[in-house]
Amino acid sequence: MQPKLGLYVHIPFCSVKCFYCDFASYAGRRDVAARYLSALKTEAAMLGPRTPDTLYIGGGTPSELDAGDIDKLFSLIHESYPKSRFAEVTFEANPESLSEEKLEVLKRWGVSRLSLGLQTTDAALLKSIGRRHSPEDFFSIFRRARALGGWAISVDLMYGLPGQTAASHRKSLEDVLALEPEHLSLYGLHVEDKTVFGRRSVETDEDLGREMYETSLDLIERAGLARYEISNFARPGFESLHNAIYWRDGEYVGLGCGAASHLDGVRGSNTPALIPYCAKIESGVRPTVEQESLSGKEKLGERILLGLRLVEGIDLEEPARREFAREWSELEDLCLVERAGSRVRLSREGVFLANEVFCRFVSPFT
């Protein structure tokens, strides 16, 4: 059965702010961990009784919490959602902050997916993007996690990084695929204004990035992982259930600073600021800073955008076909989408030019 409600819990602590990171994350602020965990429990109570089907603990870097605080985190989640029997539990971690003791805690609480943030196995490149771990740190913790068994391991890689060559990216990918992970996430660098790279005016090489991605598709497929979403690949049966809720326009609860929710047709997001988030919760005020409820053509466009991220595409029902008739015609003429019966999906070319496709379905409409 497809899970219908997801629970996302944001842990904003990091050892260092990576140069490309635009998420709500804070280096050197573990001094407020106890206060933050208390705020998470209070926010869950504010949102009322729910029974989520999946749990995703992301960040930031959740593994920056010490073992005792990770234990408290899971305890408060299960106390807040006592009826939930999570079909999937994902925990994000970085190699330098994930210890044997923490792995044991995660295992005890039933984590079924361990997501390791690697990005590259090039040691010099890791330093140049602000990462604190070494390739050896990653390989060591991967082997320890694999030895414990009983969970799927996902690895994050990036391509198009400043100074990264096609050969360097290929080696990183081959290094990871040799470990036979159940899941792989592959992201191209996108430079946001407020990041270190943004302030440095770093520019990406789109042609080189495309070469890296095309090479990756062939290598990953030969390794037995299938692409099921633009940036995500998995062995059969190991696709992310939680993320599928997002892409299928499902509902989810988001707890923590910067977390987003989609409940009862309303999308909302919390303040990304750590201390103001805690202060609002402590004063009995919801920390929401943005809310919207889409309808009509806007809602259809959003569903199309989300669904086209999936390899399976979407079932092109009459309202979506009628409201965006011109857009579908243009995209087919450009060979950016393809049809299979009543379904439509991105073509291989459309995957590389996905943003050009997506912008046609979100307002302002042209």
Residues β-bridged to residue 234: 183, 226
With pLDDT > 70 as the criterion, what percentage of the chain qualifies?
99
End-to-end CA distance of the chain: 39
Phi, psi of 102 (to 5 degrees): -65, -40
Calculate mean pLDDT across residues 158-183: 97
Tens digits of residue pLDDT in 275-331: 999 999 999 999 999 899 989 999 999 999 999 999 999 998 889 999 999 999 999
Could you report the per-residue pLDDT of 51-65, keeping only the tens digit for each? 999 999 999 999 999
- β-strands 260-263, 266-270: how paired? antiparallel
pLDDT digits (tens, 9 = 90+) for 100-112: 999 999 999 999 9
3-state class (DSSP) for residue 82: coil
Q: Which two tokens stand for residue 323?
A: 């409201």
**pLDDT given at position 342:** 86
pLDDT exceeds 60 at position 366: no
Top CATH class of 5-246 equals alpha beta
Domain boundaries, the chain: 5-246, 296-358
Position 71 scores a pLDDT of 98
SS3 assignment, position 283: coil
pLDDT computed for residue 363 by the predictor: 79
Residue range 211-239, pLDDT digits in tens: 999 999 999 999 999 999 999 999 999 99
Q: What is the average pLDDT value for the chain, to the nearest integer?
A: 95
What integer pLDDT is reported at residue 1 of this predicted model? 58
Q: pLDDT tier at 340 (50, 70, 90 boundaries)?
A: confident
pLDDT of residue 195: 94
Indicate the angle between helix axes 33-46 and 274-282, nearest 10 degrees: 50
**Residue 240 — pLDDT band, cuts 50, 70, 90?**
very high
Share of the chain above pLDDT 90, in %: 92
CB 290 within 8 A of CB 268: yes
For residue 109, the model assigns a pLDDT of 98
User: The pTM is what?
Assistant: 0.95
